[in-house]
Structure 1
Amino acid sequence: MNSINPIAFIERELAAGKNKIVIPKGVYRLEDCGHKFFLLKNLTGVEIDFSGSDLIGLARWGFFLLENCSDVTIKNAVLDYDPLPYTQGRIIESDADGNWLVKIFDGYPVEKLDSRDLTVWPVQVYSGNTYEIVNPMRYRGELSVRLVENNCYRITGGLDRKGSVGDIAVFSLNTNPPVVRDFFDDECTVELRHCTNCRVENVTVYSTPGGVAFREFWCERTTYQSCRVDRRAPEEDIVKRAIPRLRSGNHDAFVIKNAVVGPQILDCTARYHCDDCVNISGVYNLVTQRDGRKLRVLVCEQGVNTKAGDSIQIMYPDGQCPPDATAVSVRYAGELTEKDREYINTLPLVEYTRDRFHTVYEVELDREVPMPTGSVIMSNSACGNGFLVRGCTFGYTRGRAVLVKASGRIENCTSENTECPPIVVSTEYEWMSGGCASNVEIIGNRFSGKNRDCIFVAGNAPLCRVFPENAHKNIRIADNVITAKRYGILLQGTTGAEITGNDITFGDPSSNDGIYMENIAEVKLAANTSKRKKL
């Protein structure tokens, strides 16, 4: 282990005006500092090279925060925690109701847990023989994970209780401080806020303290090159353990929120974490009232995502999307009222989303637009348009390989064994996560494994089952190799689609080509090859 303190070393080099900082390769164990370990703010043109060092967090804070930076590079680091922010043990008892007694393996932490189920999210089960996942998420339903005795936990409740004696349960542990799940916490491993043209290169994340591995807000064209979220191999582990690690991160791998210009995610790997590999989206503002051209909107803790001059996309509660408008002015209009909170509770939102709204803004548009209560708006400059995901390897997660709500390109990626469809282009009203996508290309990818559907273009709103055809626009799906249990491609609510040159192996007995379409206009189908096979 090296004797220098890398945090202090970087601070000294920056104070001396250095713009290229090289940390000697070593193993650095970072003590609790009460916040993310490396706080990098208001920097321009700086490169920090960790030379392939292992950075071991001895407390469960994130490693990096870059804020208001431009042209800054972080490279060549391996990030991990000791003790791990999750634990794993064998199910040694299981009753008829699916309640388990789990004995923790040597080398894994044993801690008394916070009482909230978000602390342990998600409880997952892996086969005791193959070490592959058999239950992606035991959650909600009065889930309880309680330390009892002899390094054992009693797990009760939860909606999905698959798991047998001999299988291995894996679940998260307390964060530092206890998890609150807001969008500006300290538990994401690498985080960027309000940054431009920054770069994260060859950074490997082997575990995450509750949050996302790589996350950004309000950034412009971040590049993630050759980054990894994956299991740590036993021969490289920092602690001797009775069995290998079955998990990498406790949450998503890459989350991009409100990006002015979307990220470039290149030659990256995301496997064996607990949710989506890549999630690129904006955040909807909720319309409660219209007075001529002026809208009263409710805004979450990330703040209003619209400024004067922005192009604004609009979605009604029935999923209809009128032509975009332009914001003329945006002004703060107070805090939520009790009536607002009562209204929010009537909407089909997840509980966590209901709690996120805090403030009210007035947004004036350039023209009058009919606006039923419950409509949502979002700036087209705050949803990640212009993203590129290329040459990446995804899989073995309960979520999706790529979930996008913006314009961009997904090309030459591989995905295997995601529990959800590997490629999803979709709004999520229940999360206030938008928007409708235009000009998306899904080109030359390979998808295989257990997924029911493969490429899924759709969305939801409170008053519609299937999106109307004016929701998404100009979706190109070409030259992909697809294997899916039901449909290779499921396309809804789109005008302007091109589906060409795909090789589709599918399982749905009622389909002739493995392609399902509903509420589609102006579609081109050509040169696809399809084979039905029971999967």
Structure 2
Amino acid sequence: MSISRRRALTLASLFVASPLLGTEGRAEPVSVPGAASFDMTTFSATSGGDADAAFAKALAAVAKAAADASKAGPIHIVLNLEKNASYRIKRPLAFPQLHGFELNGNGAQLINTTRSGTLTISGCNRLTVRDLTIDYDPLPFTQGTITAFDKQAVEITVKIDPGYPDDAALLATLTDGFFKVMDRHNKALKTGARDFLSPAHATRASDGLIKVHLRWSANDCFPSQLPIAVGDVVTIANSGAHAIAVDSSVATSLIDLKLLASPGMGIIENGGEGSMMLQKVSVVPGPRPKGATADRLISTNSDGSHFTAVAHGPTMEDCSFANTSDDAINVHGFYYYVVAKSAPRRFLLSPKWDIGLVAGDDIESCDHATFRSLGRGKVAQLTKRHAPELKAKIAQLWKNRSPTTQPDLIYDVVLQQDLPLKVGDAVTSLTHIGSGATVLRCNFHACGRVLMKAPNAIVENCQFTFATGVALQAGSDIGFWSESGFADNLVFRNNRFSHCVNGANELTAGSDTLGTIYVGMVAPQGAKGFQDNFQNRRVIIEGNYIDDSYIYAIFVSNADGAKIAGNVIGQTFLRGNTFGAGEFFHIKPDSAIFVGRARNVEISNNVAARGRIATNAVAIDPSCDKRTVHLAGNRLA
């Protein structure tokens, strides 16, 4: 496969920072001209067995070396941990404003004992972490078996698996998050279980026995959901601190890193140039804790990895994700909603977070009713101010959405050229949206979605098994999460899928995400049917193998320019019922592939198995421009 210019430059910069990036196995430190090397044994020997004190001394030495060298320019600094050592830490390791720094784990393990963050990387350039394992003790989640529940199935009694925590500190955190019914054999969500229930609080009834009060009934069932039962295995977790947090950095590399638990997201990168490299990174459940008789069923309490408002998306190669409580990967920008137009070219915008839009950014607009683009432009000026007098108007814009974290913050923006934006319309940065995200040869088991809301994205030669919901998704979420943007120059190629979308939520009348592979959009609450736009552009879905899907194999909508070719599809709608799926779009499923509200589409040489639901290989919705939809060589087998 040819390598893009951006990709080549990224690789080149990483090789400069870490000469052993391409070597196999665990990296050994090498002599680099102008380098400074520190060994953790030096600091451990004078710290009386206190790992936090040893790391404090080590990081102080690293910071001093970096400061001493700053007048002459950045140098390569390496901190070598003791080979195969285990460090029990109470405080995160912080790496601020380092250039060319490398943490060489040498097979060591960091055991976080406080359910806090473990690595924080901020303002760094070409920082590398390699050959390191991160775990938590006590674990930041628990699991067990349902022994009883009340008539409303709101108060659930759970016998905790031996070796798993039920301490007061953990139970106090269980005020939201995930209560999931699991299948121990598949180490995945139980087929037909609700994708998630959410605890309101939890209390300890006796040793190893807790009562969990849910926010809504576990047996308030919709047609596709199986009721809970005594004997069901459950996991209980709430999102907290993220294990690895990267902010405002460029070309961070994580190599041969194993992350075995996280109180929140596993890896999060916020803002900055991005271009993170993940090679042979594993975000998977760790070993059984001491005294346990059952395997762990969670790796992270929230997303496995998350990339927000970075200029360049991550490159992931040969990575593994399993049992992330939410999405495995999410790459996106944000929408900023128009509060007012104060002058020609000048708009007051409300951000969700104070991140992701700066002067000089290229932007695209989005109409609040059709979600079509109202044009592209560039931010000439941007200033920020608090406007308490506008709080009511701002709150109205975020109604029925995940609320803004900045209830009175205004971005006062001047564009180079005017756009016909009205109150409620949105803009997103095209500069800070994770462009070029690439996922190659990775494995995903029992995770949430791999979400690519970034342009120029590639997911190729990956394997997905027992995905809770949609396995691989692209397109805007201008609905609840206000995450941008639409697909643009997207490739999903040569991936394999098995037993995906086994949760209950996608198979509901209200679901608008209906495929193992889904390219479309998530509209705001109250919207119905295919929205009047063709904003997903230049989409290629080819050479994928999709078997035993619980829903459509491929579902594409709101697209202008799509190629769906050479995909091999086994059984779809595996439960033999659609349970109301499709009603959102006023369709009754009868095919393996569905295309709605699209134009300039080629669908060719796809083979699909005949099933109880799939009596056609391909279905085209009347909302499509059928004059520009071309079908050839598609067949049922």
If the length of structure 1 is used for normalisation, what is the TM-score? 0.89
SS at match of 1:8: helix
The whole-number CA distance in structure 2 between the counterparts of 1:88 and 1:273 is: 14
Aligned-residue offset at 1:113: 5.6
Q: Which residue of 1 aligns with 2:544?
A: 480
The whole-number CA distance in structure 1 between the counterparts of 2:173 and 2:399 is: 21
SS at match of 1:12: helix
The whole-number CA distance in structure 2 between the counterparts of 1:427 and 1:147 is: 42
Q: Which residue of 1 aligns with 2:129?
A: 74
Q: Which residue of 1 aligns with 2:298?
A: 247
1:121 aligned residue (158, 177, 183): 177
**Structure 1: runs of 5 or more not aligned:** 180-186
Q: Which residue of 1 aligns with 2:618?
A: none
Query: 1:78-227 maps to which residues of 2 (within 5 A)?
Result: 78-98=133-153, 99-112=155-168, 119-127=175-183, 131-134=187-190, 135=193, 137-140=195-198, 143-159=200-216, 161=218, 162-172=227-237, 179=240, 187-209=241-263, 211-218=264-271, 219-227=273-281
Residues 233 and 244 of structure 1 are in contact (CA less than 8 Å); yes or no, is this contact kept in structure 2? yes
SS at match of 1:308: coil
Aligned-residue offset at 1:88: 1.6
C-alpha distance 395-145 of structure 1, shift in aligned 2 (>3 A): same
Q: Which residue of 2 aligns with 1:23?
A: 81
Letter in 2 for 1:495: D
2:519 aligned residue (457, 462, 485): 457
Letter in 1 for 2:157: L
Is 1:378–2:428 an aligned residue pair? yes
CA displacement 1:158-188 (0-9 Å, x = unmatched): 3461432222222126x8xxx5xxxxxxx11
The whole-number CA distance in structure 1 between the counterparts of 2:608 and 2:322 is: 28
Residues 106 and 132 of structure 2 are in contact (CA less than 8 Å); yes or no, is this contact kept in structure 1? yes
Aligned-residue offset at 1:387: 1.0
SS at match of 1:39: strand
Aligned-residue offset at 1:270: 0.8
The whole-number CA distance in structure 1 between the counterparts of 2:209 and 2:544 is: 46
Is 1:515–2:610 an aligned residue pair? no
SS at match of 2:392: helix
Aligned-residue offset at 1:481: 0.8
Is 1:263–2:314 an aligned residue pair? yes
C-alpha distance 512-243 of structure 1, shift in aligned 2 (>3 A): closer
Query: 1:35-46 maps to which residues of 2 (within 5 A)?
Result: 37-46=92-101
Residues 443 and 480 of structure 1 are in contact (CA less than 8 Å); yes or no, is this contact kept in structure 2? yes
Aligned-residue offset at 1:124: 1.6
Residues 467 and 492 of structure 1 are in contact (CA less than 8 Å); yes or no, is this contact kept in structure 2? no
The whole-number CA distance in structure 1 between the counterparts of 2:394 and 2:77 is: 51
Is 1:469–2:533 an aligned residue pair? yes
Is 1:315–2:366 an aligned residue pair? yes
The whole-number CA distance in structure 2 between the counterparts of 1:507 and 1:453 is: 10
Q: Which residue of 1 aligns with 2:497?
A: 447
RMSD of the TM alignment (CA)? Answer: 2.6
The whole-number CA distance in structure 2 between the counterparts of 1:23 and 1:411 is: 35
The whole-number CA distance in structure 2 between the counterparts of 1:366 and 1:342 is: 26
The whole-number CA distance in structure 1 between the counterparts of 2:462 and 2:206 is: 46
The whole-number CA distance in structure 2 between the counterparts of 1:526 and 1:402 is: 25
Is 1:434–2:492 an aligned residue pair? no
CA displacement 1:321-377 (0-9 Å, x = unmatched): 123122222122x22435433552464534x42444441011122222221211111
Range with bigger deviation, 143-152 or 59-68? 143-152
Aligned-residue offset at 1:227: 0.6
Q: Which residue of 1 aligns with 2:626?
A: none
C-alpha distance 320-204 of structure 1, shift in aligned 2 (>3 A): same
1:492 aligned residue (544, 557, 575): 557
The whole-number CA distance in structure 1 between the counterparts of 2:283 and 2:540 is: 29
SS at match of 2:326: coil
Residues 496 and 544 of structure 2 are in contact (CA less than 8 Å); yes or no, is this contact kept in structure 1? yes
Greater share of residues in helix = 2
Letter in 2 for 1:15: K
CA displacement 1:431-488 (0-9 Å, x = unmatched): 1211122111111111121426211111134456423333111111111112323322
Aligned-residue offset at 1:72: 1.2
Range with bigger deviation, 367-376 or 127-136? 127-136
The whole-number CA distance in structure 2 between the counterparts of 1:222 and 1:172 is: 28
Residues 349 and 431 of structure 1 are in contact (CA less than 8 Å); yes or no, is this contact kept in structure 2? no
The whole-number CA distance in structure 2 between the counterparts of 1:337 and 1:358 is: 5
C-alpha distance 272-132 of structure 1, shift in aligned 2 (>3 A): same
Q: Which residue of 2 aligns with 1:183?
A: none
Letter in 2 for 1:499: I
The whole-number CA distance in structure 1 between the counterparts of 2:267 and 2:413 is: 32
The whole-number CA distance in structure 2 between the counterparts of 1:505 and 1:512 is: 14
Residues 201 and 224 of structure 1 are in contact (CA less than 8 Å); yes or no, is this contact kept in structure 2? yes
SS at match of 2:570: strand
Aligned-residue offset at 1:14: 4.7
The whole-number CA distance in structure 2 between the counterparts of 1:105 and 1:401 is: 30
Q: Which residue of 1 aligns with 2:584?
A: none
Q: Which residue of 1 aligns with 2:606?
A: 528
Query: 1:323-402 maps to which residues of 2 (within 5 A)?
Result: 323-332=375-384, 334-337=385-388, 339-345=390-396, 347-350=398-401, 352-397=402-447, 399-402=448-451
Aligned-residue offset at 1:115: 8.6
C-alpha distance 454-400 of structure 1, shift in aligned 2 (>3 A): same
Aligned-residue offset at 1:195: 1.0
Residues 470 and 494 of structure 1 are in contact (CA less than 8 Å); yes or no, is this contact kept in structure 2? yes
SS at match of 1:242: coil
Residues 467 and 493 of structure 1 are in contact (CA less than 8 Å); yes or no, is this contact kept in structure 2? yes
Letter in 2 for 1:298: S
Range with bigger deviation, 456-465 or 44-53? 456-465
The whole-number CA distance in structure 2 between the counterparts of 1:526 and 1:138 is: 37
The whole-number CA distance in structure 2 between the counterparts of 1:285 and 1:421 is: 26
Bigger radius of gyration: 2
CA displacement 1:241-292 (0-9 Å, x = unmatched): 1322121111101100001111101111111120001100001111111232
SS at match of 1:514: strand
Q: Percent identity?
A: 20
The whole-number CA distance in structure 2 between the counterparts of 1:409 and 1:467 is: 25
Aligned-residue offset at 1:501: 1.2
If the length of structure 2 is used for normalisation, what is the TM-score? 0.75
C-alpha distance 358-506 of structure 1, shift in aligned 2 (>3 A): farther
Query: Between Structure 1 and Structure 2, how many residues are aligned?
Result: 512
Q: Which residue of 2 aligns with 1:294?
A: 346
